[in-house]
Amino acid sequence: MTVPMPMRSKETGVPRPTLSARHIGKAFGAHVVLKDVSLDVERGEVVCIIGPSGSGKSTFLRCINFLEVPDAGGVWVDGERIGCQEVDGVLWEVPSAVLARQRAAMGMVFQRFNLFGHLTAVDNVALALRLVKRMSRPAARERALSVLASVGMERFAGHRPAQLSGGQQQRVAIARAVAMEPKVLLFDEPTSALDPELVHEVLSVMGSLAGQGMTMVVVTHEIGFAREVSNRTVFMDGGAIVEQGPSAQVLGQPSEPRTRAFLSKIK
Amino acid sequence: MKNTISRDIHDPAFLSGKPRPLGRGNRAVATAIMVALVLALALRIVASGAINWSITFGFFFHPAILDGLVMTLELTALSMIVGVLLGIALAVMAISRYPAVSAASALYVWIFRGTPLLVQLIFWFNIALVFPVVGIGAWQVSINSLVTPFAAALLGLGLNEAAYMAEIVRAGIKSVDSGQGEAAVSVGLNRRQVMNSVILPQALKVIIPPTANQTIGMLKNTSLVSVIGAQELLTKTEDIYARNFQVIELLIVASLWYLVLTTVASAFQFWLERRFGDSRAVEVIAGAQP
């Protein structure tokens, strides 16, 4: 059903990337948001995407797990094409059950946390374990509690989202994504909705995930995090990648004038 | 305002405190007028002697009236169950990806909300004129034997209610933040799981208060089925006054019972709204802020 990615693994023997987004294009009506954006992420790599608002970085992230359906290009995770299948030379949607399985292998952390408002912290984490991973209620709860402990939220397992601070909600949201053991974790401006004093607790959880070898793509405005934690930084502007490379280089000695202009504005 | 004294902020003798509200005198006048009007009306009714109150009280617990009361409650409960279940189905159909499915839902709501309930009830009662039998071959059943007055009442009330409930449920679903659905699909839930485990539970907060309102309306709407002779409260009342001609006395019996039912239901609604109305605010207050 799924088409193997036309990949350098066959050509050169280099291990293929965990996540590969190729030539992604997306427009909302006449407004072109993404123009031919490609990104490969290796296993265990942490890639930060920075750029001015409206540059298309969030839309790109949402195209990766098909929350937005790209108009052009394709996304592969471990060589499996996401959301699409080729049948007799025609590109079709995959059945919704297949897309659900593919999404379960990609975690997503949202700017606005999006915790399930009617469920406690532990049930937020356990819901998909029960419904998607088909774990029993006690097993899902046990696993959820241990993942909550890993983000320092086990004391708040019985709290509803409305009873938690923004930073605590975001840590539960990260636990909800991590519990599914995704191949790649996508973060969509995870600290942008937080009060300044709460940013640190979320970044430190993300830093420790990176330390454990989690493959991560992080859309962020936190240049400090990009510099210290990420292997690679991508600068996007006007719906395209302007510059990318090792974080120290892109953030330290950017070669593109637009990157320099952006960095000087947010520092 | 001839006694108004003007002092500025530098005057040490200014009067401090909460000012008395104006309009106390108007309030007393308004109260007097209203009490006088209500008393005059009550005295007029009693003094006329046209209403034989002993008949009203004598029939209040009459077995036929109580039978009708039970039937009214049964019809209300069953019609609301039909209305809520079908309403949820119609609301989910309304947001379907397939245009034909959402159009079917819209067509249903258009017809059942756009024609009078009374007409619908008479229509179901006479449905045998259009479809005399259902079934095939040896398993044919006469519609006349199937659609009793009770069945026609249930069909009419339930199917009509479903159209209104569909709109209420649809508003509830739309009230849930779109981020909830996105988070749910991002962890791999399928469409049905997203709806049943994430969207609908959170839509309840918006759905429950108007549903209680609809139930109160239904208690009274059941009286319409008296036109097809379903043996509920108003039909039973009519049966009695058709024999003893004490029309007003018995209509007062029925009205008092409807008031009892709607009052109890309103109290229940008040409790429901406190329980579900703004649960988030309640939780913030109840929960220890870390």
Question: What's the DSSP call for residue B222?
Answer: G
- pLDDT band at residue A42 using 50, 70 and 90 as cut-offs: very high
Helix, coil or strand: residue A245 = strand
Mean pLDDT, residues B109-130 taken together: 93
Is the CB of B186 less than 8 angstroms away from the CB of A118? no
Fill in the amino acid letter for A59: T
Q: What contacts A35, CB < 8 A, 6 or more positions away?
A: A25, A238, A239, A240
Q: Which residues of chain A does B201 touch, with a Cβ-Cβ cutoff of 8 Å?
A: 118
> CA-based Rg of chain A, rounded to a whole angstrom?
19
Most B-contacting residue of A67, A109, A129, A131 (CB-CB within 10 A), to test interface: A131
Q: Is the pLDDT of residue A102 over 70?
A: yes
Write down the residue that tokens 């897309």 correspond to.
A99
More confident position, A80 or B9:
A80
Of the candidates B100, B151, B106, B98, the one whose C-alpha atom is nearest the C-alpha of residue B124 is: B151
Average pLDDT over chain B, rounded to whole?
88
* Low-confidence winner among A134-138, A208-212, B140-144 (lowest mean pLDDT): B140-144
Count of Cβ atoms closer than 10 Å to residue B133 Cβ: 13
pLDDT digits (tens, 9 = 90+) for A130-179: 999 999 999 999 999 999 999 999 999 999 999 999 999 999 999 999 99
Task: Tell me which H or E stretch contains A221.
Answer: none
Q: What contacts B50, CB < 8 A, 6 or more positions away?
A: B248
Contacts 24+ apart (CB under 8 A), B284-288: B284/A162, B284/A163, B287/A159, B287/A160, B287/A162, B287/A163, B288/A163
* Low-confidence winner among B17-21, B70-74, B205-209 (lowest mean pLDDT): B17-21
For residue A32, with 0-12 CB atoms within 10 Å meaning exposed, 13-18 middle and 19 or more buried, which class applies? middle
Mean pLDDT, residues B187-209 taken together: 93
pLDDT at res. B278: 54
Question: Tokens standing for A267?
Answer: 């520092």
pLDDT at res. A184: 97
More confident position, B136 or B170:
B170
pLDDT digits (tens, 9 = 90+) for B148-160: 899 999 999 999 9
- pLDDT band at residue B20 using 50, 70 and 90 as cut-offs: confident
Most B-contacting residue of A93, A109, A118, A201 (CB-CB within 10 A), to test interface: A118
Of the candidates A230, A253, A256, A232, the one whose C-alpha atom is nearest the C-alpha of residue A242 is: A256
Q: How far is B194 from chain A (nearest CA, A)?
A: 10
Mean pLDDT, residues A47-69 taken together: 95
The DSSP-derived string for A128-195 is HHHHTS---HHHHHHHHHHHHHHTT-GGGTT--GGGS-HHHHHHHHHHHHHTT--SEEEEESTTTTS-
Q: Which residues of chain A does B187 touch, with a Cβ-Cβ cutoff of 8 Å?
A: 103-104, 107, 127-128, 132, 176-177, 180
- pLDDT band at residue A128 using 50, 70 and 90 as cut-offs: very high
Distance separating alpha carbons of residues A258 and B135, to the nearest angstrom: 75
Most A-contacting residue of B175, B178, B182, B186 (CB-CB within 10 A), to test interface: B186
* Cα pseudo-dihedral A204, A207, A208, A210, rounded to 10: 160
Is the CB of B283 less than 8 angstroms away from the CB of A162? yes
pLDDT digits (tens, 9 = 90+) for A252-262: 999 999 999 99
First to last CA, chain A: 48
pLDDT digits (tens, 9 = 90+) for B210-222: 999 999 999 999 9
Q: Is the pLDDT of residue B286 over 70?
A: no
pLDDT at res. B49: 81
Nearest chain B alpha carbon to A99: B188
Mean pLDDT, residues B261-277 taken together: 87
Is the CB of B189 less than 8 angstroms away from the CB of A114? no
Instruction: Judge if pTM exceeds 0.90.
Output: no
* Low-confidence winner among A54-63, A243-252, B47-56, B116-125 (lowest mean pLDDT): B47-56
Nearest chain A alpha carbon to B285: A163
pLDDT at res. A135: 96
